[in-house]
Structure 1
């Protein structure tokens, strides 16, 4: 009997090791990995080209759901900083007949800064500049998952005004539903 495919959702801030861990999961589970940073710089020359990242992530979500329906494991390596994003992805995975595993990689501020600075110094073509002020702002915006969320317990209803999580996802990630 074939097991259900799995959507792995990488959670964390820059420098936490998400892409390194995503590559391990890709290898260990024969998963298809979608990492926006691998695409943004080659396609657009920058990480946040006028909303193009949201459009690209939306296409990745769309492709991920298609791959899950075909029985392929998928990794979304976006960082997904909010609980709403994670809830939407968990819901979409369930609708595609897949399991969803949230992979959270916390990092303390000094280690984060050291990793980000090291990556920029050693491989500037694969990343983009991030300042200490950026990291402070990112920590302010980031919603760390709690134990219940990581355990895959109940997915809360979508925000008021959204018919379901798919509708919410379509607003968050243009092109996510096709």
Structure 2
């Protein structure tokens, strides 16, 4: 049975490092939006294009699952709704869903962000204090039910299915 591994955490948590390892170990397609945003647009989110790109990558991930290929999504997924949508879409394809949360201390995160910028500026985006604070303020930590897979959230009010919500959220995942 194919599987999708969704890596969840803030910048500097170690998602991309783990994603690279999982892709090799699980013979999986690795989808990391930052690696597309930089060469395509030179910025992390110019004019909302990141959401569109993430939507296209999500569609590609679901297609890969249908074809029998494991997938590692290196998204971060700050909201529970995003994670629930991806879980539902993955399971609708008959694949296993693995949420991989990478909690790290704020000190470790900041050190990794600084190190990444100092050593590989061509592979990353600069992060200001405001960017770091914004992430911390908006990140919804996964709870025990999400982590153990027993969470089965319904789509947000006004959305009949997770597929419809995901198509709206990521602009192009339909």
Equivalent residue for 1:52? 49
Equivalent residue for 2:112? 115
Q: Matched residues in 1 for 2:91 and 2:113: separation? A: 34
The match for 1:82 among 51, 72, 79 is: 79
How do 1:134-149 residues align onto structure 2 when only pairs under 5 Å count? 134-149=131-146
Q: Matched residues in 1 for 2:118 and 2:58: separation? A: 31
CA RMSD of aligned residues (A): 0.8
Tell me if structure 2 keeps the 8 A contact 1:36–1:56. yes
Deviation at 1:133, TM superposition (A): 2.7
The match for 1:32 among 11, 29, 33 is: 29
Equivalent residue for 1:97? 94
Equivalent residue for 1:10? 7
Q: Matched residues in 1 for 2:30 and 2:93: separation? A: 17
TM-score, L = length of structure 2: 0.98
Q: Matched residues in 1 for 2:16 and 2:25: separation? A: 14
Q: Matched residues in 2 for 1:40 and 1:133: separation? A: 20
Deviates more, 1:147-156 or 1:161-170: 147-156
TM-score, L = length of structure 1: 0.96
- Partner of 2:30: helix, strand, or coil? strand
Q: Matched residues in 1 for 2:99 and 2:112: separation? A: 23
Alignment: residue pair count: 174
Equivalent residue for 1:169? 166
CA deviation digits over 1:10-46, x for unaligned, max 9? 1000000000000010000000000001110101111
- Partner of 1:148: helix, strand, or coil? helix
Q: Which runs of 5+ in 1 are unaligned?
A: none
The match for 2:67 among 67, 70, 74 is: 70
Q: Which runs of 4 or more aligned residues in structure 1 lie more than 3 Å from their structure 2 counterparts after TM superposition?
A: none
Q: Matched residues in 2 for 1:102 and 1:112: separation? A: 20
